Amino acid sequence: MTTATTRFAIQPVAAATLPIAQSTLLFPVHRVYCVGRNYADHAIEMGGDPNREPPFFFQKNPDNLFAGDSFPYPSASNDVHHEIEMVVALKGGGVDIPVADALDCVWGYAVGLDMTRRDLQAMAKELARPWEVAKAFEQSAPCSPLVAAEKIGHPSRGAIRLDVNGERRQAGDLDQMIWKVPEMISYLSGLFRLAPGDVIMTGTPAGVGPVSRGDVLHGRVDGVGGLDVMVV
């Protein structure tokens, strides 16, 4: 722990945060967990099995999340894809959390993009290498301001969609998630010690595809909010 008198050998980088809608408070981001292939139609488009196999997770870096309105096209890729997702922010944690208690850990929700260097991901899959270069690059997760569960409840159904330059590219419903939010929290807590500030990206419906500089992305999750991002 750090205290007012803690002295660091070098200047520490500022903690990652996300804004909160209609509030001056910031949400401190601890870790970012992302679930893969959590909508059956997207699992099929990625060549997977839409059946209920155990979920799998990867991580982004906490400071990959940001609330800006422009997404800088990253280096080292010619095939960067959009993945619209509902984002869950935790206020509690622990290990081995029962499904029935999992929603007590949730502070709130947001709309996010799991931007992906698809070409590097494909290479990683082929070579059985990890996914960080595909998933955990700078500003790889544009995100709307968080909204508190106190205000909106815990959305388990509702449209999730993404338009690119006004054209619908991704559309689904939260009720199509293979693993529901309480199940994801419970499962993750069997693998990691979840903590306040942890964020979970809950997977994307079908329709992922490439973006280009100048594209305008508009994402929306009914009951949660919207996200507008320009690729620059």
- Residues forming contacts to Mn ion in the complex (CB under 5 A) are 83, 114, 204
Shortest distance in whole angstroms from residue 85 CB to Mn ion: 6
Q: Which secondary-structure segment (H or E) carries 187?
A: helix 181-189
Question: In angstroms, what is the minimal distance from the CB of 224 to Mn ion?
Answer: 16
Q: Are 145 and 21 in contact (CB under 8 A)?
A: yes
As measured in angstroms, the least distance from the Cβ of 200 to Mn ion is: 11
Question: Residues near 71 by Cβ (< 8 Å), separated by ≥ 6?
Answer: 113, 115, 139, 142, 211, 217, 229, 230, 231, 232
Residue in the shown chain whose Cβ atom is closest to Mn ion: 114
User: Among residues 141 and 149, whose Cβ is nearest to Mn ion?
Assistant: 141
58 or 107: CB nearest Mn ion: 58
Q: How far is the CB of 201 from Mn ion (least distance, A)?
A: 6
Q: How far apart are CA 160 and CA 171, in angstroms?
A: 6
Nearer to Mn ion (CB atom), residue 101 or residue 173: 173
Output 148 or 208, the one with its CB closest to Mn ion: 208
Distance CA 115, CA 103 (A): 26
Shorter beta-carbon distance to Mn ion: residue 83 or 198 = 83
For the chain, give the number of residues: 232
Q: How far is the CB of 48 from Mn ion (least distance, A)?
A: 13
Q: How far is CA 9 from CA 6, 12, 62, in A?
A: 10, 9, 22
Minimum distance from CB of 25 to Mn ion (Å)?
27
Residue 99 burial (CB < 10 Å; 0-12/13-18/19+)? middle
At residue 33, φ and ψ (nearest 5 deg) are -105, 140
Query: Whose structure tokens read 């095939």?
Result: 79
Least gap, CB of 83 to Mn ion (angstroms): 4
Q: Tokens for 110?
A: 């947001």
Q: Of 27 and 33, which has the nearer Cβ to Mn ion?
A: 33
Give the nearer residue to Mn ion in terms of CB position, either 84 or 105. 84
Contact 226, 69 (CB under 8 A): no
